[in-house]
Chains A and B, each alone.
Chain A
């Protein structure tokens, strides 16, 4: 049993079940990110932890206590909302200490807690201002200050960065990560941004259509996605999914793909158990960074294969050059080093790191374990 225990929790609105038997145990000090497209149930789950929505069935426990039916203010949680939800009629200082005041903490203690938090977040000079006079980033800090001052068991973040502009979002992301590393608090964080999920979390729960598709560390989620949805949702650009057929050659399983010229490319699997799929169709998943120019290929990999294919489009991004080519009947994006001379229409010798390749069962869309 974890510090925050989500045990077989479901949520229904009338006859419609929107969350199906969610089971997550979060350890103390963990940073769990719930990620998924809109409507996947991640915010609903967060609101159920907060106590803002009823639990239809199952149990949620915080710090060894079942909190089903417990009022939000008595769960010892704090929440940062997407819109920050700062009280417009109160100053920053009053906003931060409102919760303490409601819990009957005497004024001297409130002021001390407020000053500590203001110092931590560097918002001391803002304490007398109203929220309307603050910038987006400052409001964000105040909202976090309001959560921090309570010293709760669990912090809940509901898409806290989605109202900020791109640059500020990256800065605040780092701030949140720093804060977590400093305070070692337990955090549940909802986002639809897979980069936020990857960078912030110690564990990720990828959600889709009311199911937790996969729960694991960022590396597990990225390298061994449980199914096609997780594979394509996490990572940018998305993982390339190609139609392939398993064939045996020299006693080793290979993926057979149609190249841009209509020929056959044979890519040897690193997973030996793929031989069980001999002669069957599969979906082959390779991330863009595993299809490179030969010099950019991973030197530690024992399974890098050369592949000649025609370039359709090149997209120089400064740090890298993304090249689109056609493989296995699909447009495939590969990631080359920035200074590799390439141009559209040419043939190019790619290096494919098959150690990083994953295969999916076309019928169930689940990853074939290897």
Chain B
């Protein structure tokens, strides 16, 4: 018995060592691109063009970061990424907020105020999660044109809200499906109305799923390039489009260090959201499946 036990411990140790080595290698592999971006964004250009991309900087400089933020050539204007960063914020915040609220309302209705055909409706909404973006570009452009929203940030907000509702509804519906209906009934008897129940009973218990939904929507909308490139132009473009323009438009010398700094700047907000709320992300994804 004791022999068998010690043997199992020994094999366990070997397996564990293997797992840790594998994980270490994998994480190094994944971190490598970021390492290269970070290292090269704080080097003078001459060090990049003249030497090894993997090498640590000999002269440390934040000059490329400042340039990417406020003075680099984006398209024809030397504005840096700053105005486009605010464009993205102005687009992301309302789009995330509206799609999350609508998703929560949809989930609430689809689980607690059921009606004939509600599962079919939900199925149709789910369908929107799986439609490739490219298919809707032309109809969407037409609709934005009719609404007089083409080329504006409002148009982009609308597009992202419409696209986001599918996922946010899915999240909230599954979360609320496990929410006890007796609570809603009790609140009805207590005299609470449709929105009072939503605001006072449902929303206060929805913390984890709100976090999941916000992270998901924020990441997707912030990182979107296709809609931004298609429906917003020039000074109204979001960060991702501006980054592309920054990289494409440099005349003469390619300022790789500025490009790297710009790319990190563009990725920073999503990174921040993950770090701040990431703990809830995994917890929330599981919330629908296992109660508690």
Using a CB–CB distance below 8 Å, which chain A residues touch chain B? 50-52, 71-74, 77-79, 81-83, 85, 87-89, 98-99, 102-103, 146
Contacts and interface: CB of A to CB of B under 8 A. Distances in A.
Contacts of A146: 186, 190
29 contacts: A51-B189, A52-B185, A52-B188, A71-B188, A72-B188, A72-B189, A73-B189, A73-B190, A73-B191, A73-B192, A77-B189, A78-B189, A79-B185, A79-B189, A81-B186, A83-B180, A85-B185, A87-B187, A87-B200, A87-B201, A88-B183, A98-B187, A98-B190, A99-B190, A99-B191, A102-B190, A102-B192, A102-B196, A146-B186
A89 B204 CA distance: 6
Nearest to A73: B191
Contact of A99 (B185, B189, B204): B189
Given A99-B191, A102-B192, A102-B196, A88 B205 contact: yes
B186 A85 contact: yes
Contacts of A51: 189
Interface of B: 180, 182-183, 185-192, 196, 200-201, 204-205
Given A87-B201, A89-B204, A102-B196, A73 B188 contact: yes
Nearest to B192: A102
A71 B194 CA distance: 12
* Max chain A C-beta neighbours (<10 A), residue from B180, B189, B191, B192: B189
A106 to B, nearest CB: 15
A249 B145 CA distance: 102
A85 B180 contact: yes
Nearest to B196: A102
Nearest to A74: B191
A89 B180 contact: no
Nearest to A158: B182
Nearest to A87: B201
A73 B188 CA distance: 6
A153 to B, nearest CB: 13
Nearest to A47: B185
* Max chain B C-beta neighbours (<10 A), residue from A51, A87, A103: A87
B177 to A, nearest CB: 16
* Max chain A C-beta neighbours (<10 A), residue from B191, B192, B201, B205: B191
B183 A85 contact: yes
A173 B202 CA distance: 32
Q: Which 6 A-B pairs have the closest CB atoms?
A: A73-B191, A99-B190, A102-B191, A89-B204, A85-B186, A85-B182
Contact of A87 (B183, B185, B189, B191): B183
A140 to B, nearest CB: 14
Nearest to A75: B189
A79 B196 contact: no
Contacts of A81: 182, 185-186
Contacts of B205: 88-89
Nearest to B184: A85
B192 to A, nearest CB: 5
B104 to A, nearest CB: 15
Contacts of A74: 191
Nearest to A99: B190
A274 to B, nearest CB: 50
Contacts of A78: 189
A159 to B, nearest CB: 11
B166 to A, nearest CB: 28
A83 B182 contact: yes
Given A73-B189, A102-B190, 14 more contacts: A50-B189, A71-B188, A72-B189, A73-B190, A79-B189, A85-B185, A85-B186, A88-B183, A89-B201, A89-B204, A89-B205, A98-B187, A98-B200, A99-B190
Contact of A79 (B186, B191, B201, B204): B186
Given A81-B182, A82-B182, A87-B201, A98 B189 contact: no
Contacts of A103: 191
Contacts of A83: 180, 182
A212 to B, nearest CB: 24
Contacts of B186: 79, 81, 85, 87, 146
A51 B185 CA distance: 10
A85 B185 CA distance: 9
A203 to B, nearest CB: 24
A302 B201 CA distance: 63
B77 to A, nearest CB: 50
Contacts of B190: 73, 98-99, 102, 146
Contacts of B201: 87, 89
Contacts of A87: 183, 186-187, 200-201
A77 B186 CA distance: 11
A220 B185 CA distance: 35
A88 to B, nearest CB: 6
Nearest to B202: A89
Contacts of B180: 83, 85
Contacts of B182: 81-83, 85
B146 to A, nearest CB: 41
